Amino acid sequence: MDKKACKAILKKIKQYDTITIYGHINPDCDCYGSSIGLREIIRDNFKNKKVYALGFGPDYMFERLSRYDEVSDDVIKESLAIIVDCSEIARISEQRIKLAKEIIKIDHHIESVPFEGTIKWVDNGAIAACQMIAEFALHYHLKISNLAAEALYLGICTDSGRFRYAPTNERTHYVVAKLYEIGINPKTMFDILYQSDANVVKYQALLITKFKQTEHGVIYCFADPKDYEQYDLTFDKISKNVNVLGNIKGCPIWILMTRSPEGFIRCEFRSQTLNIQKIAAKYGGGGHRCASGARLDNWSWDECMKIINDLDDLAKRGDDGE
């Protein structure tokens, strides 16, 4: 925990009457959970402040936890903006963030571009932004409500792959133990999170039949709109299905490339241990050492083989190429 950065962030929170919180486009549960969790922590501990979390999705958790907020431009213009779970302003789902007076970042991704804001707290050793926010609250003895605790647990559990992925460690489990003490009920969240409709299962089965493997064990799969639209599924719903291809024996890297109806391709990279973030960054993306992504505009599948070949070279070397 960067105590200097955290102290400066707490000082800024105390300074502003209005605070707006932002996450990345196509938010996952860590983005959503850290937005809602931080909002509730600030609201509960600073009753006189107006605090809003802005974003879009995942709507399937709204009824169980909470919805995002809607505010006017005038509110944002008077606010301190806090980015969570996103490395750069360009990837924020609500670009009105640029209207805010100051911008702070709380994130656990590897930075691909320098952050142009007031304060940043980046911790690549945290499995989730939700873990960082929980550590922040615990360090300063801030009240964490049951709603905030469950939102934070949601992000930690999902970003860690249910505590399977690095860097899940003693810090992670310490935070989770504290959230259990508050009274979280993960079972009722899992009932929502891990159920799939029949068409999603059929689509995942299709991906399993389509994947290919390189000489050195890289699993890759290309998906076109016709593949998911035949099951009445949308791009936003299915483009994160990369782990359907994971955990195949002898395959250190797996990647799913899904083309949107508009034509751009969403790439999701995963690895057991190898640093795939550098390759994602090479193609305009970023993320974590073992979990990264990129967006490709106007690429053909043949052109995408350049990325597959780079990943195969990495798998062949079995190191970071340093």
Task: Convert the pLDDT of each residue in 289-320 to its tens digit.
Answer: 888 999 999 999 999 999 999 999 999 998 75
Ranges of CATH 3.10.310.30 domains, the chain: 198-317
48-81 in b/e form (b: 16+ CB < 10 A) is: eebbbbbbebbeebeeebbebbebeeebbeebbb
The CATH number given to 3-193 is 3.90.1640.10
Mean pLDDT of the chain: 93
Residues 108/88, Cβ–Cβ less than 8 Å: no
Residues 48/79, Cβ–Cβ less than 8 Å: no
β-bridge partners, 268: 256, 293
Q: Of 41-50, 51-60, 135-144, 308-317, which range is least confident?
A: 51-60
Ranges of CATH 3.90.1640.10 domains, the chain: 3-193
What is the fold, at CATH topology level, of the domain defined by 198-317? Answer: Diaminopimelate Epimerase; Chain A, domain 1 (3.10.310)
Query: What is the value of pTM for the model shown?
Result: 0.84
**Which residues are within 8 A (CB) of 131 and not within 5 positions of it... i.e. 6 or more apart?**
108, 152, 155, 156, 171, 172, 175
Task: Convert the pLDDT of each residue in 114-151 to its tens digit.
Answer: 888 889 999 999 999 999 999 999 999 999 999 999 99
Task: Convert the pLDDT of each residue in 189-223 to its tens digit.
Answer: 998 888 888 999 999 999 999 999 999 999 999 99
Alpha carbon distance 271, 291 (integer Å): 7
**Which residues are within 8 A (CB) of 194 and not within 5 positions of it... i.e. 6 or more apart?**
none
CA distances 88 to 57, 125, 308, Å, are 19, 18, 25
Give the pair of three-digit tokens for residue 260. Answer: 């949107």
More confidently predicted of 87 and 202: 202
Sign of CA dihedral 118, 25, 122, 274: negative
